[in-house]
Structure 1
Amino acid sequence: MRRFLRHPVRLVPLGFLAAIALGTGLLMLPWATSESRYTPFTEALFTATSAVSVTGLSVVDTSTYWTTFGLIMITVLTQVGGLGILTGATLVILVVARQLGLRNRLLVQAETAEFGFGDVRRLLLRIAGLALASEVLMTAILAGRLWWAYDYPFGRALWYGLFHAVQGFNNGGFSLWPDSLVSFSRDPWICLPLVIGTILGGLGFPALFEVVRAWRRPTTWAVATKLTVWGSLTLLVAGFVGLLAAEWANPNTIGGYDWQGKLLATFTQNAVVRTGGFNALDTNQLEEETYPLLIALMFIGGGSASTAGGIKVSTFFLLAFVIWAELRGEPDVTVGRSRIATASQRQALTVALLSVALVVAGTVALIVMTEGVRYYRALFEVTSAFTTTGLSVGSPDDYGTPGHLTLTLLMYIGRIGPLTLGSAIALNTRRRLYRYPEEQPIVG
């Protein structure tokens, strides 16, 4: 038991389970709801899991169902979930680095050159300081805008600013406005702080800290940082162009906006779609061709060791480099002037394929358990839950108790799964003193 508990790879899922259990109990209390009644177990479990996994899906109207106590609990659970992810990822990286053997330790240390493996306390304090500073600044801007331009009472403006700042940096997605950000989709003072906070929280601390340290020398960045930063920029541009083209003339979303409004609303929605959870466009009124684009962006997600979900940007673009090398007949997979280890390629492929299998299985299960649901809607909901995004077509309340439990399980697996799986694979590296004869089976 002692060996089990001191292993962060095992502690991370246990810690999240404990936070979910505590949050479920607190949200079931009668003073957590506006009607002063006990919340059903399934609803409380769904909401607590959604908050701790920083997803943002809800089976009730967040703006009216919960009291101030309930909303504070959701805020605390989101903050605990977000910092827990960052802290857990930090500890796992350090443990993996120490247990890989000298050669692999040096490789990992080269990939995380910003961090001293002996100074965990300093690293964790920097992560907490980054989160606190970002949320304080976002709160000030949002509260000031709501108070000055929308005539919110100062106390209410401050509370709304704090709530959405925590949700933004932690990629949570819960909102006190019934339509999320749709009513503010043309207000840059509301949208842009949340977009910047979501991007900062979704990049991941290894990439973010290295960019800050060596922003003048991007060629010296580690491969993981290059894949995360340049990959994220690529997805931001490609997603923005695709979403703008698909929705430009849609009268139910941005068709009636002026060109500045169209650009801002589209940029906001595109920036937060990879696990941010807010929606600046009405997801029920999107064009049919928009849904596959959003599903793909949600599935990719954000950076490693971040508050974002998905298979991660670095995983996606690493696989793209693998495909490109194979198509060119190259013996090695290279990113810039670095050769990618075969073990990393296999780990990326394993995470991606297992994630695809879970999304497909979850979609089939949701269709079977819910009468009349369209396949694309089920796929959208399952992808949103597994990637801890929080966007929804319609309402998750339509799926009944079996559907709620399925989405709850997917949120939990999607939150701790890639981190735990990737670390377990890395720690399970073994050396064999013999090799079998090689064969080359027909592929394709």
Structure 2
Amino acid sequence: MTVAAFTAVVTLGTLTLMLPDASAGGEETGVVTALFTAVSAVCVTGLIVVDTAAHWSTAGQWVILGLIQIGGVGVMTLASVLIIAVRHRIRLKLQLSVGVESKAVTLSEVRRVIFGIIWFSLLFETVTAAALTARFLVGYGYAPGRALYHGVFHAVSAFNNAGFALYSDSLMGFATDPWIILPIALAVIAGGLGFPVWIEIRRRREPGPRRRWSLHARITLSVTAVLLVVGTVLVTALEWTNPRTLGPMDTGDRLLSGFFHSAMPRTAGFNSLDVGGFQTQTLFVTDMLMFVGGGSAGTAGGIKVTTFALLAFVIYANVRGEPTVHVGDRRLSAGVEQQALVVALLAVGLVFVSTLVLMTITPFTLDQILFEVISAFATVGLSTGITADIPVAGQLILCLLMFIGRIGPITLATALALRRRARRIEYPEERPTVG
């Protein structure tokens, strides 16, 4: 059902973007270009093969914005409902048939989640749009209608971690403007944390005894903060003297741009600096940040910060020779460890194979192709500028990566959590040499 729903939206978006009215020149857009744009929008990635500002008409841009909203809210809704299903350890069919008697998820609970996500999304998007509209209106002299349109478009694109922009150079023209850069960065971070974390934050502000932070919220908030700080330090340090990026800026603007490019791999895809001008080391750091991504049940992609953190705890426990894995005052189940391992290894395998194929059919270097592949799989949208020059076969591979990256980890992790089979026969145990 998940794959079918996303496929239907992508198909509808592709057909709509192929219409002459969707292009600025009034001509029909090719099927591959329309498909790539639709997949990138629905999967809230931001990779493009044509200039969003120049190629698409206002109607086409509205279609893209609608696809972004559907994709972002749809992913949060899907992931949040699946998290509920995992917690109750019961399939949807059983939930609807037996209801409260087995403590299953009720329709009213699902309805509250859906409406909560919609309200949550609109709140952040409205606040961000208001800040951006005011800045476009006062700081850049935009007409009210244009200021509102640009404010709304970039607010929706930022909160949903889509990375689509109405400027040919993304946000490079606003690199030193904190009134544009910071609202967009904060919206990206907010969307990337995930709906369950924001629910806990809201509940802690309610009167009465404070509830205990869940392990999921603690991991998401702490790892997100660490990655933001580490990313800011590394990007700023590596690009400090680069004449193509931070070199010409003063200290304050360098720190602002460094922070922005640490937040974008969460996975938004906006850029205020020329990514193609980054040092190879900076591209590699960005690869790692993109691969990890953001929080579960949010608009970010990647393997998710919880998966990354759980694997780190598993490694730490095994190095210390401990029989079980503990995080704080909680013990991880073996099932959770297996889920994290499977999701991470499948992601690595998919990135490796896709990189190898693209290296075979394109003339680009390894660092460029690896960056593009991880950006597509992690639904980031950052690029060194080679997307439009990749042959059609390569663009279709990127489409598949975006699609799998958007729904794959969610559906895979849920399937692993819900699917438990007891073996009827167990064979004698043996321990092969490891390492």
Structure-1-length-normalised TM-score: 0.92
Q: Which of 39, 50, 75 is matched with 2:40 structurally?
A: 50
Partner amino acid, structure 2, of 1:261: D
Alignment of 1:20-169 (within 5 A): 20-100=10-90, 119-169=109-159
Task: Output the CA distance in 2 between the equivalents of 1:91 and 1:400.
Answer: 38
For residues 214 and 423 of structure 2, what CA distance do their matches in structure 1 show? 29
Amino acid at match of 2:40: S
Shift of the 381–123 alpha-carbon distance from structure 1 to 2, 3 Å rule, reads same
1:397-412 alignment, distance < 5 Å: 397-412=388-403
Aligned residue type for 1:127: I
Rounded Cα–Cα distance in structure 2 between residues aligned with 1:262 and 1:100: 50
Contact persistence 1:94–1:117 (CA under 8 A): no
> What letter is aligned with 1:308?
A
> Counterparts of 1:174 and 1:381 in 2: how far apart (Å)?
16
Cross-structure match for 1:390: 381
The equivalent residue for 1:213 is 203
SS of alignment partner, residue 13 of structure 1: helix
Q: CA RMSD in A?
A: 1.8
Which residue of 2 is the match for residue 431 of structure 1?
422
CA contact (8 A) 2:80 2:196 kept: no
Alignment of 1:364 with 2:356, yes or no, is yes
Q: Is residue 15 of structure 1 aligned with residue 5 of structure 2?
A: yes
In structure 1, C-alpha distance between the alignment counterparts of 2:85 and 2:280, rounded to whole Å: 45
| 1:353 alignment partner in structure 2 | 345
Q: Tell whether 2:286 aligns with 1:294.
A: yes
Deviation at 1:179, TM superposition (A): 1.2
CA contact (8 A) 2:189 2:266 kept: no
CA distance in 2, matches of 1:193, 1:434: 58
Shift of 1:214: 2.6
Are 2:434 and 1:443 aligned?
yes
Deviations 1:394-429 (A, max 9, x none): 131100211111111111011010001111111111
2:230 maps to which residue?
A: 238
Tell me, yes or no, if the aligned pair for 1:240 and 1:267 is still in contact at 8 Å.
yes
In structure 1, the gaps of 5 or more residues are 1-10, 106-114
**Aligned 8 A contact 1:171 1:201 in 2:** yes
* Post-superposition CA distance 1:260-300 (Å, at most 9, x none): 11111111111112211101211011112101100000000
Question: Cα distance 1:219–1:119, how it changes in 2: closer, same or farther (>3 A)?
Answer: closer
Distance 1:99 1:325, change over 3 A: closer
1:275 maps to what in 2? 267
CA deviations on 1:365-392 (whole Å, 9 max, x unpaired) are: 111121x211111100000000000000
Q: Structure 1, residues 176-225: CA drift from partner, whole Å, max 9, x if none? A: 11111111111111011111110111011112211232369999211111
User: Structure 1 CA distance, aligned partners of 2:379 and 2:167?
Assistant: 20
- Aligned equivalents of 2:151 and 2:415: distance in 1? 39
Deviation at 1:331, TM superposition (A): 1.2
**Distance in 2 separating the partners of 1:360 and 1:299:** 12
Classify the secondary structure of the residue corresponding to 2:163.
Answer: coil
Counterpart CA distance in 2 for 1:432 and 1:211 is 41
In structure 2, distance between residues paired with 1:41 and 1:116: 42
User: How many matched pairs?
Assistant: 421
Q: Distance in 2 between matches of 1:324 and 1:177?
A: 45
SS at structure 1 position matched to 2:336: helix
Q: CA deviation at 1:97?
A: 3.2
Q: Percent identity?
A: 47
1:57–1:392 contact (8 Å) kept in structure 2: yes
Partner of 1:414: 405
Check conservation: 1:274, 1:299, Cα contact below 8 A. no
Q: 1:342 to 1:376 in 2, by over 3 A?
A: same
Q: TM-score, normalised by structure 2?
A: 0.94
User: What is the CA deviation profile of residues 326-371 of structure 1, one whole-angstrom value per residue up to 9, with x for unaligned ones?
Assistant: 111111100000000011001100000000000011111111121x
Aligned mates of 1:228, 1:293 — CA distance in 2: 20
1:211–1:218 CA contact under 8 A, matched in 2: no
Query: Quick one: distance in 2 between partners of 1:159 and 1:67?
Result: 13
Distance 2:282 2:434 in 1: 33
Deviation at 1:100, TM superposition (A): 4.5
Residues 116-136 of structure 1, C-alpha deviations (whole Å, 9 max, x = no match): 985221221111111001111
SS of 1:119's partner is helix
Inter-CA distance 240–299: structure 2 relative to 1 (3 Å threshold): same
How far is 1:433 from its partner? 5.7
What letter is aligned with 1:25?
Answer: L
